[in-house]
Amino acid sequence: MSEEFTFKGDFIWRPTAEYIDQAHLTRFIRQHNLPDFNALMQRSTEDVAWFTEAVLQYLDIQFYTPYSKVLDLSQGIAWPRWVVGGKMNIVHNLLDKYIGSSIEDRVALITENESGVVNSYTYAELYRKVNQAANALRSLGLGSGDAIGLFMPMTCEIVVAMLAIAKIGSIILPLFSGYGSGAVVTRLADADAKALFTADGFQRRGQTINMKTVADRAAVQVSSLEHMIVTNNANLTVDMIAGRDHWWHDLVEKQSEQANTEIIDAEQVLMVIYTSGTTGRPKGAVHTHTGFPVKAAQDMAFGTDLHPGQRFYWMTDMGWMMGPWLVFGAMILGGTFILYDGAPDYPSSDRLWEMIERHRITTLGISPTLIRSLIPSGEQQFRSYDLSSIKFFASTGEPWNPDPWMWLFEEVGQGKRPIINYSGGTEISGGIVMGNPILPIKPTAFSAPCPGIAADVFDEDGKPVRNQVGELVIKAPWIGMTRGFWGDPERYEETYWSRWSNIWVQGDFAVVDSDGQWYILGRSDDTIKVAGKRLGPAEVESILVSHPGVIEAAAIGVPDDLKGNTVVVFCVPAIGHSPSNKLREELKSLIVSSLGKPLAPKEILFVSDLPKTRNAKVMRRMARAAYLGLDPGDTSSLVNPESITGIQQAT
């Protein structure tokens, strides 16, 4: 990514009549007598109140007390008030309203663990389980406004617990299942959590991981925590503290299957999801009952086109926003979602494809990192499985490189199934830009902004640009936007609203090409400026992973007396390729031939892994800090903190 955009290509997928005719997006456009998608984008961003109300009606979001006004901007664009005066509870729209209808007998949830054990609940069964859990929480004195943590494996119980918390009007605190005690403490203490759901343990790559001991170490450091509810997931012997700890089977399963759903203000806090900052404590993005779930369902409908009876699996953890996104979106749409608790390539690389065949998955959500890791296993890993159920691939978490994108599209998808690229964030409640089933797609690109998102790309002077790298911004509010950071409104305003007046700055570099295709090129704070030339890591990394000897790469900028900054790259060698000076020189030559000699890297270092979050984002800032011997900041979101040591040893 130099000053001029260099990722170019032709449209590689065009929607068939079947994709277009069946699409939620087509139906929505026709309902409102709009001529095409462009007309929808114009109206949805110029009249936010109209679009918001239209989406609420399309999704059949029901209120106990109707709202008097869908949008109030009297407090400024950063602090809109939505569905003013409305009373509701999102659980009514996920479960309650289906009871007595044809939907209640449909499968809502399927879970599978590493050992191959499969469980499922219909909507009616899930409704009864959630009622039991809600009664259990109320029996402990918990209720509206109380924060309750979710530190659990991806099992049926985590969904039941999450929905029960919402049902009684409490606040969901999703926590990554791989966190250490310090990360759990920080988040529970920040929200003054009163209770925590956890498990005795879980299986990962055939090994049993004790989760309760981590929860115990955290609990004693959180003065507000009064209760811990523990599921018996791995049959481990664990310590139970009398008065504080409760086994799920003792507390929950004995409760009545009938429970009232708390009637609350539509804008009451539903969930606080913590994201790691570069410095300081993690940021708690605040979401409400009519915020996050509505945006999730909108994007799932208009982007990945989920319909009742279809099955959606996204490789995720409930501690990443895509976990709650999957649950809320699928249930509002009356679909089926699938959770897998385990490594996606265990016991072998065909695990993912085997799951698609077994569960007849319709939409598969993956990350570029996962696809890059599977490519070396070859085509035989998926050729023996029936993948005909797949209609869509979906992807988020990090930018694609062209080669793995093409492998997924052409080899696995046979050139017929679109890859719905999706980018936004926890604070967005989903996407800023996204592919969809009615627009053509170029490799690695996004077809358009999500309807209702007034996205643009600004240059350094705050002017819109095309075919040029700039800052991704949003110029109007949307119902999914975070209601600020928990307990820190000033930090929220500084993070997103301080650069240009009334403009949300996402912190990503983006490009819109001459055909209207959008590209996200990475975090803008990852940008490298070499001798006045702006270079993005994605461009360098795509060159490196095009070499058969490299499976993953990360590029960073480091200080240089002459150029201001120079490039250093970290490469993970592919299977069968060992680090060597020969490989290093080949990679350097590739970069020079593509970008020119002035952008030749200072160093090419070989490492066994790159620092990544659970949603597969490569944390370049941490790699840079490790290389320079600086404090890497908050590393609690990493799934592989040992990778930091690997970088330090390679330098």
CATH of domain 122-262: 3.40.50.980
At residue 469, the pLDDT reads: 87
Decide: 544 and 590 in contact? Cβ < 8 Å: yes
Q: How far apart are CA 377 and CA 535, in angstroms?
A: 32
Decide: 465 and 481 in contact? Cβ < 8 Å: no
CATH of domain 17-89+269-522: 3.40.50.12780
- Residue ranges covered by each domain of the chain: 17-89+269-522, 122-262, 527-650
| Local structure of residue 603 (DSSP, 8 states) | E
Cα 172–chain centre separation:
17
At residue 452, the pLDDT reads: 98
Decide: 365 and 358 in contact? Cβ < 8 Å: no
Phi, psi of 298 (to 5 degrees): -60, -50
CATH of domain 527-650: 3.30.300.30
| Residue 232, number of CB atoms within 10 A of its CB | 15
CA Rg, the chain, in Å? Answer: 24
Query: In one letter, which amino acid is 251?
Result: L
Same fold, 122-262 and 527-650: no
pLDDT tens, position by position, 380-400: 999 999 999 999 999 998 788
| Residue 145, number of CB atoms within 10 A of its CB | 13
User: Please, what are the averages of pLDDT over each run of 10 residues along the chain (651 residues)?
Assistant: 55 97 98 98 98 98 98 98 98 98 97 97 98 98 98 98 98 92 90 98 93 96 98 96 97 98 98 72 92 98 97 94 97 98 92 97 93 90 96 91 93 97 96 98 96 97 94 98 96 96 94 94 76 73 91 90 86 92 94 83 94 79 90 77 91 82
At residue 599, the pLDDT reads: 84
Token output for 302 = 């208009």
At residue 550, the pLDDT reads: 94
